[in-house]
Structure 1
Amino acid sequence: MLTIAEQREQFAAMFTRPLPADVGSSATTLGGRPALQLRITTPRPTGDAVLPGGPVLLYLHGGGFVVGSARVTAHVSAALLRHLNGRAISLDYRLAPEHPFPAAPDDCLAAYRELLDSGIDPHRLVVAGDSAGAALAVVTMMRARDAGLPMPAAAVLFSPAVDLTLSGASMRSKDGVDPFFAPADLEWLFGQYAAGSDRSAPELSPIFADLTGLPPLLIQAGSSELLLDDAVRLAGRAGADEVAVTLEVVPRQPHVFQLDDGSAGAAAALERAGRFLATRLGGAKEAS
């Protein structure tokens, strides 16, 4: 088996893409952690300038809580950013096994809190994440709600990994169909992160959480992934808790298919996700 360092290098080599020429990136910090900030550097078709008070996208990367980085998924953040007259910040939260639960959600809440403390209007703030990062997005909003902090305007969740107990029916029905994972792979990753904690606890598996008070959600998943039922059940849980939720299951697509920037299906899904965020931002405009 590869070492943790080798797994991280392999994951980065597989999924990192060059940023478009008109997307500028800069290193920053948020909540005490390194982060990557993105801005569109060319004028928008509308002629609008990117203003300091413009919308902010907080992006949380995936990787099973063990691999991944802000840079690996920067092209996804950039695709969403094209619909927002603002900036995106992707967080490098601490990874397991060096830093198991609750290090990552602690980092994400600290980042969210700092954005609010900096004066950002929560109506101009949106959140997105993929896989483990999508789960962390849900947990961050739950924690923010419980702390009395305002909610963001909306959130987009790509293939959320929200059931660390692996109890979804698709863990069996999609075994051998999923091109990336077998159940044992997810068991190992989630074990590194949980490190002996109760995996059914809501902050580890938000499929079992009370989602009341969360903002509008868009959940996207592929029909070919082991985690399909995580997305389907999360949408049902959100709906039962009176959260406005849209679920999209794209046929014959794998886990976080949005990472494949050469795929027409990925481009279309990111287009829908970007428009979803744009229409829920107070005063934000959709890209033409």
Structure 2
Amino acid sequence: MVARDSSDSSPTILKGDPSVDTASLYRSSPALSFPANALYATAQFSLVVVVLPFHFLLFALFPSKRWRPSWTLTEAALMPAVKRIMSTMDTCGYKIGARRTDRAPGRVARWWMRVRDGVAFEWVEGLSRELAGGVLVDEQAKVREQVGMYVWRREGVDDGEGLVGLWLHGGAYTHNSAHPGASSSSIPRILFKREPRFSSICGPYLFFLLSGPVALATQGLPSPAQLTKAISTAVEYRLLPDSPFPAALQDAAAAYVSLLRRGIRGSQIVVMGDSSGGHLALALTRWIKETREERGAEEEARSWRLEEPSGLVLFSPWSDPSHSYLGHTASTYVPRKNSSDYVFESPPFRLHLVTSLLGSRPSSFVLSPYISPGSRTLAPGALEGFPPCFIHYGTSDRCEEEGERLVANLRRDGVRVETVVTEDTPHDLMLLAMIWRKSQVEQVWEGVLQFTGSLRR
């Protein structure tokens, strides 16, 4: 058994039977296969259509039946539907919004993206061999030679105190994409519109949106003249279960390094992400910090500098995958609190997700600060030297407790942290902005804008 604080669902000490091979137990996906998954999905989606009107009527007549008392009728009625849809997708092994990582959009699709979204698809060189050592070395996850990106451009941008946003999308490393049509792209797009410091970008300044699975590249980066007009870029990083750790980190590192090699200073860059994208942002920051230390001042002086970013912006960051390893079987899994959230919390699926993330690494690696920076067992000083952070989560969020611990760990290690905690909001609130109360969504945006406004002053 694992010792636990009664007020916290995280382990204080991770123990278990070391003779049990978690990889062999959970490497095979527990998802249904065809045709069972198709039949199950049809039944569940039909149930959503049938039950949704019932929930509207029920919660209108009996407000006390709502999962959260503060939820509006729309929120209360839609959340069970979202929860059923999300659990169905995972149970059936379907990926939401994910795209192939080994090809660029077709010529017609690229033309349409330029017309509709003002977005172009381009390429960036993969991580160089000199940087692809240490934690990035893995037989299951080879460093890619080139990485695909979606790029937003604007003519006539002005110089000023421009910031460079590096966006990493969420989706449990399984869902979503960098494509401008993906739901996760709405977050950085809105931030770009609302933050004038991101719109006043000039010279080598860029606004980068990092998302989704990584596409192989066949062309070069835009020229420095083109970069003066670049507003944002979305990178397709690789997804689970085919590409375990450190594949996504390799791709994020390649994108970050490409900015520095183009003359963009680390003090201009803000690394941002939601859910697992926040997890990846924290891992990227750790890699930058450790690689800088390994390179040393002499090597840094001889070549370009691997500078650290000016700040992190994290929405509902998934920061404690070690929670899935309270023991070595599904029967030992303790679900995270806030069952009203839409996040699927089935023990076999959670364990399979984290085991897939670890890949060839032993189960003990789940306690690495690369994997679980929000763990209660994180060693003091592990986050020392991190840049200022903005963190948002809700009190109905499956990631609420690990968000609290991440904030505590950062502050313990001397990192400046600004937080916005919204009452009774679910995981990754900003993805639900269209159906949620504008006052709470606005509360988050105000916090983000205040934080980014404080950077590089």
Shift in Å, 1:124: 1.3
Return the alpha-carbon distance in structure 1 between the equivalents of residues 409 and 430 of structure 2.
24
In the alignment, what sits opposite 1:269?
A: 444
3-state SS in 1 of match to 2:282: helix
Shift in Å, 1:59: 0.2
CA offsets per residue over residues 112-156 of structure 1, 9 Å max, x none?
111111100212111100111101101101110111132111110
What aligned pairs does 1:27-176 form with structure 2 within 5 A after superposition? 27-30=121-124, 31=126, 32-39=146-153, 49-50=157-158, 54-71=162-179, 72=182, 73-82=184-193, 83=195, 84=198, 85-86=200-201, 87-90=207-210, 91-148=235-292, 149-166=306-323, 172=335, 174-176=337-339
Return the alpha-carbon distance in structure 2 between the equivalents of residues 110 and 7 of structure 1.
28
Shift of the 133–38 alpha-carbon distance from structure 1 to 2, 3 Å rule, reads: same
**2:354 partner amino acid:** F
CA contact 1:232–1:247 (8 Å) conserved in 2: no
Shift of the 9–132 alpha-carbon distance from structure 1 to 2, 3 Å rule, reads: closer
In the alignment, what sits opposite 2:355?
A: 191
User: Normalization by structure 1: what TM-score?
Assistant: 0.82
CA offsets per residue over residues 154-179 of structure 1, 9 Å max, x none?
1101111111111799x646252222
Paired residue for 2:411, among 227, 239, 242?
A: 239
Return the alpha-carbon distance in structure 2 between the equivalents of residues 54 and 81 of structure 1.
11
Return the alpha-carbon distance in structure 2 between the equivalents of residues 146 and 121 of structure 1.
18
Return the alpha-carbon distance in structure 1 between the equivalents of residues 273 and 152 of structure 2.
15
Return the alpha-carbon distance in structure 2 between the equivalents of residues 150 and 193 of structure 1.
27
Identity rate of aligned residues, in percent? 28
Return the alpha-carbon distance in structure 2 between the equivalents of residues 273 and 23 of structure 1.
24
Shift in Å, 1:27: 1.8
Return the alpha-carbon distance in structure 1 between the equivalents of residues 383 and 397 of structure 2.
24
Return the alpha-carbon distance in structure 1 between the equivalents of residues 279 and 160 of structure 2.
29
More strand per residue: 1
Return the alpha-carbon distance in structure 2 between the equivalents of residues 54 and 22 of structure 1.
26
CA contact 1:175–1:182 (8 Å) conserved in 2: no
Return the alpha-carbon distance in structure 2 between the equivalents of residues 52 and 117 of structure 1.
21
Return the alpha-carbon distance in structure 2 between the equivalents of residues 196 and 121 of structure 1.
35
3-state SS in 2 of match to 1:7: coil
Return the alpha-carbon distance in structure 1 between the equivalents of residues 397 and 424 of structure 2.
9
3-state SS in 2 of match to 1:165: helix
In the alignment, what sits opposite 2:370?
A: 203
**2:149 partner amino acid:** A
Unpaired stretches in structure 2, ≥5 consecutive residues: 1-30, 34-89, 100-112, 127-145, 202-206, 211-234, 293-305, 327-333
Shift in Å, 1:74: 1.2
3-state SS in 2 of match to 1:145: helix
Higher RCO, Cα 8 Å, sep 6+: 1
Return the alpha-carbon distance in structure 2 between the equivalents of residues 257 and 7 of structure 1.
22
CA contact 1:65–1:132 (8 Å) conserved in 2: yes
Return the alpha-carbon distance in structure 2 between the equivalents of residues 167 and 8 of structure 1.
21
Name which of structure 1's ranges 107-116 and 196-205 shifts more when overlaid on structure 2: 196-205
Name which of structure 1's ranges 243-252 and 132-141 shifts more when overlaid on structure 2: 243-252
3-state SS in 2 of match to 1:96: coil
Unpaired stretches in structure 1, ≥5 consecutive residues: 13-18, 44-48, 283-288
Return the alpha-carbon distance in structure 1 between the equivalents of residues 285 and 185 of structure 2.
22
Return the alpha-carbon distance in structure 2 between the equivalents of residues 121 and 62 of structure 1.
26
Shift in Å, 1:81: 1.3
Shift of the 22–270 alpha-carbon distance from structure 1 to 2, 3 Å rule, reads: farther
User: Normalization by structure 2: what TM-score?
Assistant: 0.53
3-state SS in 2 of match to 1:89: coil
Return the alpha-carbon distance in structure 2 between the equivalents of residues 155 and 26 of structure 1.
26
3-state SS in 2 of match to 1:205: coil
Return the alpha-carbon distance in structure 2 between the equivalents of residues 76 and 248 of structure 1.
16
RMSD: 3.0
What aligned pairs does 1:206-225 form with structure 2 within 5 A after superposition? 206-207=373-374, 208=378, 210-225=382-397
Name which of structure 1's ranges 66-75 and 179-188 shifts more when overlaid on structure 2: 179-188
Shift in Å, 1:212: 1.0
Shift in Å, 1:10: 6.0
In the alignment, what sits opposite 2:118?
A: 24
Paired residue for 2:340, among 166, 172, 177?
A: 177
Return the alpha-carbon distance in structure 1 between the equivalents of residues 446 and 337 of structure 2.
27
